[in-house]
Structure 1
């Protein structure tokens, strides 16, 4: 299992969180998703086959911008 943290911009409410969670959970290999509009953090745990670009694309599909946290 690998855990990766991303910073997401544009979230303002619980619905935003839900939209992102739903899109990221669709990605093959994702095991769990934690997202908070209050902190702007997205934490993804997966089986090690998921790359950052795929997660960022899922965030964009939900209508937001994301980058991997340093």
Structure 2
């Protein structure tokens, strides 16, 4: 039986975080940081995250209103126009990549 601290944990024994496949950055997807204007609060972050998360291939989204940055992880590069449409649907404006 494997110990819970190594099996299913995001942190490895060397203190780095991520799964074994994610640690080397190979085959785990693409992370892109976008600048979005108009986000001012947690509700804004949630609205933007919800719309971008609905795009095909998106595996993670983290929006930060204070910086206006939205970090998106996806299985393959996303079309900027698809991201722009999702941000527009949420009621905000995609400025571009950070």
Q: TM-score, normalised by structure 1?
A: 0.92
SS at match of 2:66: coil
- The alignment covers a number of residue pairs equal to 70
List alignment gaps of at least 5 residues for structure 2.
1-28
Q: How does 1:1-70 map to 2 (within 5 A)?
A: 1-70=29-98
Asked which structure has the greater RCO (Cα within 8 Å, sep 6+), the reply is 1
Q: Distance in 2 between matches of 1:50 and 1:34?
A: 16
Say which SS state the counterpart of residue 54 (structure 1) adopts.
helix
Secondary structure at the aligned position of 1:43 is classed as strand
Q: Please list every run of 5 or more consecutive structure 1 residues that lacks an aligned counterpart in the other structure.
A: none
Taking the aligned partners of 1:49 and 1:10, their CA distance within structure 2 comes to 24
Structure 1 runs of 4+ with >3 Å offset: none
Higher Rg? 2
More strand by share: 1
Question: Given the two structures, how large is their TM-score scaled by the length of structure 2?
Answer: 0.67
Q: CA RMSD in A?
A: 1.1
